């Protein structure tokens, strides 16, 4: 099997610089008849425009006033879309799942997208924080009104976009939304990065970090070191390569290709040939999910890049891996393989080849598997780990205090169960 790459994404960047509880989201305040660009209650009125005769250096100027608003992602102006894209490209941590090129088609096509709003913090110059949220009557199993991160089957990371110049200020502004509901839940946040540190530093007393898990990843440091495989695993890998080449009647290779409608259709066909197709959970089984995937692959957001790795021959594709690029990180979005070639394990072979592609064909610092924590194949192939957790902030007042007490009680019970088992 030979690895060949294109030059489209050799630098690992995507252009410019740099779910689950099953409840039905309710309509966010403000209502559809109200403005969706409403400053947070209590904010002072905006200053009148005027002629600026002298502007002191940034370090000598007071920080601009920050407004926290809820915005409808489907009705943004061109200026707002540009501000969103700029924040995505310069955020303290990249998150392609919160880029406009991902969120906009998701809210347009996915069934739960109609109630989504963007929680945006902005000053006079730019957006400094953004996270897609929904208002819900409950959070997980707790019957408490909340504002929570929008989750759906294709959103694999919930890290908020925070201004890279001052992430703590951006986090502080974002967390003001905790006063709008008894509970603010930021779910699926990477727990060891600068955004988590900023949230922790800016959070009011009583923030809880819950549901921490770890999933497979690769870092630049780990792939720079030679991989030492046990002899049995090397022999098994070589046997699978020979079997796949025999089934294809030609040597297989890995190709890096730019997304296109034809490539997207090949992926959907591969996914439908396997267990997801038989269970009805493949993207192609639902026209709305299929439309979302095509819109994602044909997007033009400069802060979001899409690449496909295909394993096969010129005449037949055995497996396909869709990858999202944001900043100096790559995210494995979707993997599919031809079920008729299952004895050659093309999916496992492509995941193995992705390690070499990440090392040789990109300048990215991290490859996130986006896999479930117990996904054995990803855990075996990608040896680093990314911690993911929920950052939960009770609101003010009696309702928020009751939520805080309930969370503390739940944490104590969980720790007691863990101690009893251990």
Same domain, 189 and 88: yes
Whether 24 is covered by a domain: the verdict is: no
Q: What is the pLDDT of residues 114-167, one digit of tens each?
A: 999 999 999 988 999 999 999 998 888 777 888 999 999 999 999 999 999 999
Report the phi/psi class of residue 258: left, alpha or beta, with left for phi > 0 and alpha for psi in -120 to 50.
beta
Residues 327 and 281 both lie in one domain:
yes
Mean pLDDT of 199-209: 84
Average pLDDT value for residue range 278-303: 94
CA dist., res. 109 & res. 289, Å (int): 7
Checking if the pLDDT of 378 tops 50, the result is: yes
Task: Read off the pLDDT of each residue in 190-196 and give the average, rounded to a whole number.
Answer: 96
pLDDT value for 404: 66
Can you give the CATH number for the domain in which 260 is found?
3.40.630.30
β-strand pairing of 146-149 with 183-190: parallel
What's the angle, vertex CA 105, arms to CA 79 and CA 362, rounded to 5? 85
Answer yes or no: is 374 within a domain.
Answer: yes
Residue 412, pLDDT score: 63
Pairing outcome for strands 384-394 and 208-219? antiparallel
| 96 part of a folded domain | yes
The residue range of the domain holding 154 is: 64-214+387-421
pLDDT of residue 183: 87
- Mean pLDDT lowest for which of 41-45, 67-71, 262-266? 41-45
Contact 3, 356 (CB under 8 A): yes
Q: Does 28 fall in a domain?
A: no
Q: What percent of the chain has pLDDT over 70?
A: 77
Predicted pLDDT at 53: 35
- 47 within some domain: no
Distance CA 197, CA 180 (A): 23
Q: Considering the domain boundaries, does residue 59 fall inside one?
A: no
Q: Residues 263, 119: one domain? A: no
Same domain, yes or no: 391 and 375: no
Question: Using 50, 70 and 90 to split pLDDT, how confident is the model at 40?
Answer: very low
74 lies in the same domain as 188: yes
What is the pLDDT averaged over residues 279-286? 93
Burial label for 28, CB within 10 Å (0-12, 13-18, 19+), is buried
- What is the helix (H) or strand (E) element at residue 218, kind and residue range? strand 208-219
Q: Are residues 280 and 147 in the same domain?
A: no
Total of domains in the chain: 2
The predicted pLDDT at position 35 comes to: 38
Sign of the Cα torsion 164, 168, 172, 177 reads positive
Q: Does residue 366 or residue 408 have the better pLDDT?
A: 366
Is the pTM higher than 0.85? The answer reads no
Inter-CA distances, 139 with 112, 191, 285, 411, Å? 16, 20, 29, 15
Tens digit of each residue's pLDDT (9 = 90 or more) over 336-367? 999 999 888 999 999 999 999 999 999 999 99
Task: Record the tokens describing residue 322, joined without a space.
Answer: 């869709």
116 and 251 in a single domain? The answer is no
8 Å CB contact between 178 and 393:
yes
Phi, psi angle pair for 14, to nearest 5°? -120, 20
């Amino acid at each position: 099997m030979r690895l060949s790459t294109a030059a489209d994404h050799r630098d690992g960047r995507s252009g410019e610089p740099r779910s689950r509880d099953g409840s039905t989201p309710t309509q966010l305040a403000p209502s559809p008849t109200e403005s969706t660009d409403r400053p947070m209650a209590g904010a002072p009125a905006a200053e009148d425009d005027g002629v600026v005769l002298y502007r002191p250096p940034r370090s000598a100027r007071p920080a601009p006033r920050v407004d926290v608003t809820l915005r409808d992602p489907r009705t943004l102006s061109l200026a707002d879309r540009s501000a969103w894209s700029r924040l995505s490209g310069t955020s303290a941590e990249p998150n392609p799942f919160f880029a406009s090129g991902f969120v906009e088609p998701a809210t347009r096509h996915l069934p739960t997208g109609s109630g989504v709003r963007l929680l945006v913090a902005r000053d006079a110059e730019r957006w400094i924080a953004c996270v897609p949220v929904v208002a819900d009557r409950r959070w997980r199993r707790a019957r408490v009104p909340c504002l929570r991160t929008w989750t759906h089957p294709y959103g694999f990371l919930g890290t908020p976009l925070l201004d890279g110049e001052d992430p703590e200020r951006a986090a502080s502004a974002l967390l003001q939304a905790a006063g709008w509901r008894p509970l603010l839940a930021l779910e699926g946040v990477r727990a060891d990065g600068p955004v988590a540190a900023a949230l922790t530093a800016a959070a009011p007393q009583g923030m809880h970090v819950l549901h921490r898990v770890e999933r497979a990843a690769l870092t630049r440091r780990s792939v720079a070191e030679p991989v030492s495989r046990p002899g049995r695993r090397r022999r098994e890998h070589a046997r699978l390569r020979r079997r796949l080449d025999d089934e294809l009647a030609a040597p297989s290779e890995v190709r890096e290709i730019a997304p296109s409608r034809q490539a997207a259709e090949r992926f959907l066909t591969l996914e439908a040939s396997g267990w997801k197709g038989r269970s009805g959970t493949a993207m192609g089984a639902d026209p709305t999910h299929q439309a979302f995937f095509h819109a994602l692959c044909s997007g033009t957001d400069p802060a979001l890049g899409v690449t496909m790795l295909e394993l096969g021959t010129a005449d037949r594709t055995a497996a396909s891996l869709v990858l999202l690029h944001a900043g100096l990180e790559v995210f494995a979005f979707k993997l599919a393989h031809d079920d008729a070639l299952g004895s050659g394990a093309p999916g496992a072979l492509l995941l193995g080849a992705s390690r070499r592609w990440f090392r040789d064909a990109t300048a990215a610092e991290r490859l996130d598997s986006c896999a479930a924590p117990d996904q054995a194949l990803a855990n075996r192939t990608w040896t680093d780990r990314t911690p993911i957790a929920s950052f939960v902030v009770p609101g003010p007042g009696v309702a928020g205090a009751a939520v805080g007490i309930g969370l503390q009680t739940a944490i104590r019970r969980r720790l007691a169960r863990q101690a009893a088992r251990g």
